[in-house]
Chain A
Amino acid sequence: MTVNMTKGQAISLQKSDGGTLTSVRMGLGWQAAPRRGLFGSRTREIDLDASAVLFADKQPVDVVFFRHLVSDDGSVRHTGDNLVGGVGQGGDDEAILVDLQRVPVHIDQIVFTVNSFTGQTFQEVQNAFCRLVDETNGQELARYTLAGGGAFTAQIMAKVHRAGQGWAMTAIGTPANGRTFQDLMPAILPVL
């Protein structure tokens, strides 16, 4: 069962049968919004980038993005940069795999962000979503739609953080501006 999340909502990643999740995928998908008017067929390519920042006690320890596809400890993996987005399939265009069992013990939060590398604002993006999938069985755990794209170029999507013995996910959805995750750091720190 998929939970459609709204801003600020937190869900636990405990499985319904009580077991904890071992591996999750954070998927990001988007499509370029069709342009109206003359030369409308000339759609602009939009390059969104998904990144994951690993925090230990509010200090960034490691980051996984298109230039560093695997965290040093191997627990977080980016499947690769997608430069143009989906052409309407609705699948994940970029994905970050998190092996929760192998995340180092001091990492307590993993923040997922999306940036528009090509500089378009989310007004030009359609159907952008971020979803969390149980990688072991392909079940969608949570989906967060980037509703009402505004005039900003980045968004802090969600965070996966330790809660008790397991992990929980919180939808954040804070808009921000920046080309890569470095520009977002000031915006990330308040949501930790």
Chain B
Amino acid sequence: MTAELTRGQNHPLPGARLEIRVSAGTPVVAGATLGDEDGTVHGVAQVAHPGAPTLPGLEVSRQAAADHRLAVDLDAVPDAVHRVSVLLALPTGGRGPARFGAVAAPFVAVTGLDGAEVASYTITGLEAESAVVALELYRRQGAWKVRAVGQGYAGGLAELFADQQLPQAHQLAGSIHEAVASGLARSVPAPPAAAPAHRPDQGTAPRTGTGGSVPPASSPYDSQGAPGSGPGPQGPGAPGQHGAQQPYPGGPGEPATAGQPAAPGGDGPIDYSHPRRQTAAPPPPPPAAAPAEPGRPARPVAGDATGWSMEERLYNQVWGMFEDLARTTAAYRSAVDFADSRMEKELDQVLSDPRNRIGGQGDAAREAARARHGELVSQAREVLDRDVAQLVAEAEVVEPALPAAFARWDNPVWHAYRVPMEIPMALRLGDLHLPEADRIRIPMLIRLPLERGLWIDSGRSASLDGSFADSHEMRRLGLETAVAHAARLLAVYPPGEFTVHVIDPAGSGAQALAPLVHSGVLAAPPAQGAAGATEVLSRLTERVDLVQMALRGGAPDALPPGLDTSHQLLIVNDFPHGFDDRAVNQLRYLADEGPAVGVHLMMVADREESSGFGPLLDPLWRSLLRLTPVAEDHLADPWVGHAWTYEPPLVPPGSQVLQQVLAQVAAARRSWDR
């Protein structure tokens, strides 16, 4: 049973072997003085402090720390000692606070060796004081008791010692601070921002008396500190085994010192993070959603899904959102369909009943049927709105957390783009949304390496806003989209692992291709004319052949040395102009066999224009993933089969992000080639 003491209160102690735990929000020096019946301390040898940490029956830490454990064995204390005062002081000369009024109220607790608290005391009401007598253990009629003192001294340790009639008070205070400073210099600089989650607890948790920051009882201090101090042959100058104390007072069990970002003397980098404002998702442990208020759904957190890395978790989370939106919309649609069919049936019944033809009965029945319909639809809408709101909230935290490969072009992460060293697991090919939930855009994440080629449909299509773009405009848009996709692919692959070839037979795409050509990320300038197209196609076909043969023969080492093993992307503009049957067959071959050996196809084409080839090309189209340069609802989800509106990942107008990213890619490729 813990007694929470107030100032001046005392409490009996159950045994002689005790520990005194100190928790402060900031590093403090802990010490103890041994006084006689009048409280007088006879000389420096009666003070345990960081410079002389052990006295008979008493041991303190060598270090300033936010948490201390002082071992006390009252049986070993000399008989002349009647009063053991536990004192705390703020280290001077550092960058830390200079007065207790500026820090959280220190908390001290007296515990048994098993860690059970006997009494605790929170030292409140301190202001300008920089040293304080926290507790006093004193003899009363042969037994020991503890008293909460809380006497502060604005003049620091010197004044405190002077108050205890110690003659060399000033010298001692100076040597203590010196010892502390040298102790700090000896210790490893605190890692910045380590265990930031512990920080907010420092001030508050101990005050509750439940020992929120109690180190485990099996910490090294337990096993050697308290029992070892019993026999007490060690004088102040003979530290013995305790002299070899670890630089961190509590060993690994105490994160508090390590978590002190601005520890004085630590020369590590400055921690700019707000001490009480943590980022929602520290990468290593899977972020857990904060506990929800009762009756309300939990606040979503980015990365709240399974996976080995943050990237994988975000990928899974996005797909989870995709599925949830698909299903929730399915529920809404099926409810509305049901309401529609039920109303129709009821209206039919009303109509077929001859009694309803006279009088207002029929109208009333019709009205009732409509009301039932409206009620069900509004209920369904309510549920949909609830779910969509939750997903919108999730998207709001997920979008900013996405890595570049998953992010939209307007995400700031692209402005901080760095050429990656690893292939990401997926790439965002655009956004998906449903008409019922227009507020939310689901990133369309496709696994890399691509399993299918892409077909950018430059055919005439009814865009959603009702305007019909003419075919010339569509072709331009199609190629622009293709360039944006290709730039993305180039940017997310490590340098040298992705090569882009372009076939532009008529040279009509020069303008749209300019970002790729000018930045120098292409392997060669766009191939023009039938000859150019044939040349590129046969080179890639040969590569597919070779790699395939090598793989099938189980001899990938036998590939010719000059062969480029990077992934290849072939952009074909203006298909089928300038393509003969042979070239078309090669394209089909590439589309079918290429993805398995790292050769991908991106066609910018209008399917109708290639109808001259007859049904020959149908398998080609089917094997490609169709994307549109304008928003269009042609993609189905794998669960319910809704038609999702696809939006291509276009660079925001006027933004130079594409050029900047490509310039970095080009620079990285040049240095890699060298």
State the A residues within 8 Å of B (CB). Answer: 56-57, 59, 61-62, 70, 72-75, 102-106
CB of A72 to closest CB in B, whole Å: 4
B331 at the interface (CB under 8 A from A): yes
B323 at the interface (CB under 8 A from A): yes
B639–A73 contact, CB under 8 A?
Answer: no
**Total A-B pairs, Cβ < 8 A:** 53
B379–A105 contact, CB under 8 A?
Answer: yes
A70–B383 contact, CB under 8 A?
Answer: no
- Size of the chain B interface, CB-CB below 8 angstroms: 20
Chain A residue nearest in CB terms to B342? A57
A104–B639 contact, CB under 8 A?
Answer: no
Q: A105-B380, A106-B376 are in contact. Are A72 and B335 (CB under 8 A)?
A: no
A106–B380 contact, CB under 8 A?
Answer: yes
Q: A105-B376, A106-B380 are in contact. Are A73 and B338 (CB under 8 A)?
A: no
Chain A residues within 8 Å of B324, by CB: 74
A57–B640 contact, CB under 8 A?
Answer: no
Chain B residues within 8 Å of A72, by CB: 327, 330-331, 334, 639-640
Given contact pairs A74-B326, A104-B383, A105-B376, enumerate 13 new A-B contacts (beta carbons under 8 Å).
Answer: A61-B334, A61-B338, A62-B334, A72-B331, A74-B639, A102-B328, A102-B387, A103-B331, A104-B331, A104-B380, A105-B379, A106-B334, A106-B335
Q: List 23 A-B contacts (CB under 8 A).
A: A57-B338, A61-B334, A61-B338, A70-B327, A72-B330, A72-B334, A72-B639, A73-B328, A73-B331, A73-B334, A74-B324, A74-B330, A102-B328, A102-B331, A102-B387, A104-B334, A104-B380, A104-B383, A105-B376, A105-B383, A106-B334, A106-B338, A106-B376
CB of B436 to closest CB in A, whole Å: 13
Chain A residues within 8 Å of B58, by CB: none
B134 at the interface (CB under 8 A from A): no
CB of B349 to closest CB in A, whole Å: 14
Chain A residues within 8 Å of B387, by CB: 102
* Alpha-carbon distance between A75 and B327 when the two chains are bound, in angstroms: 8
* Alpha-carbon distance between A102 and B325 when the two chains are bound, in angstroms: 12
A104–B335 contact, CB under 8 A?
Answer: yes
* Alpha-carbon distance between A103 and B342 when the two chains are bound, in angstroms: 19
CB of A15 to closest CB in B, whole Å: 14
B327–A74 contact, CB under 8 A?
Answer: yes
Chain B residues within 8 Å of A102, by CB: 327-328, 331, 383, 387
CB of A63 to closest CB in B, whole Å: 13
B332 at the interface (CB under 8 A from A): yes
B432 at the interface (CB under 8 A from A): no
CB of B589 to closest CB in A, whole Å: 37
Chain B residue nearest in CB terms to A103? B331
B339 at the interface (CB under 8 A from A): yes
Chain B residues within 8 Å of A104, by CB: 331-332, 334-335, 380, 383
Of the residues A56, A57, A61, A73, contact of B327 by C-beta under 8 Å: A73
A105–B335 contact, CB under 8 A?
Answer: yes
Chain A residues within 8 Å of B332, by CB: 104
Q: A72-B640, A74-B324 are in contact. Are A106 and B339 (CB under 8 A)?
A: yes
